Amino acid sequence: MAKFNEAATGIEKLRAVIEIEQAKYDALGKVAENAEIKVVTSGDGAKLLGVPMNAETGANLGQLLEGFGLDKLTALLSTVEDDEETE
């Protein structure tokens, strides 16, 4: 009978752990729905158009674009395109 009690106790512990993990990930999901998540991927030696693709470069570029403003960047790029078309 003691073996069955131990087995039952083990099963109840597992159920409790499962419920706790489910509650934890449900809460994390609710937080992630409203979070602004930025993912930076990197690799050693990877380059795109001669620019190293690593976490530091990505962070620097992200800060540059945020500081510069996307509307200003679009206006600048359209100006460059217009200049190229007139040549």
Which residues constitute the domain of residue 36? 2-86
CA distance 27 to 42: 29
Q: Across the chain, what does the average pLDDT equal? A: 79
Tally of domains within the chain = 1
CA distance 33 to 2: 47
pLDDT tens-digit readout, 8-48: 888 999 999 999 999 999 998 888 888 887 765 556 667 77
Q: pTM value?
A: 0.38
Q: What is the pLDDT confidence band of residue 87, given thresholds at 50, 70 and 90?
A: low
∠ at Cα 75 (77, 38), nearest 5°? Answer: 80
